[in-house]
Amino acid sequence: MQAELTPLFIPGGFGPMELGVILLLAILLFGANKIPKLARSTGEAMGEFQKGREKVESELEEMRESGNYDDSAGGDDEFVDTEPVTNEDETDVETETN
């Protein structure tokens, strides 16, 4: 699964004027000194996310190839009844009062 990259300048998308306005607003909001720090921290976060995603994908691929699945993670081995238990006496009392 490879993510597709879309080009920056697509018809009907952001043009150079719109990108310039966005950049100007970012400079006004964050200040010229904080923008490089913000971009760096965003890039680092994206890199960490990418590494984590690749690690999970490789582990899933290894599991598929080896055929070893962890059955304890949500298997339907045992049915657990979640309905509340009521006595017949309780239901009789409710119907008599109505």
For CA atoms 26, 29, 34, 39, the dihedral sign is negative
Q: Which pLDDT belongs to residue 40?
A: 93
Within-domain flag for 44: yes
Q: How far apart, in whole angstroms, are the C-alpha atoms of residue 2 and residue 5? A: 9
pLDDT given at position 29: 87
Of 69, 50, 51, whose CA–CA distance to 60 is shortest?
69
Residue 65's pLDDT is: 87
Range of the structural domain that residue 54 is part of = 32-65
Point out the residues of the chain with pLDDT beneath 70. Answer: 1-12, 68-77, 79, 87-98
- Asked if residue 92 belongs to a domain, the reply is no
Is residue 88, in this structure, part of any structural domain at all?
no
The pLDDT value given to residue 1: 53
In-domain check, residue 36: yes
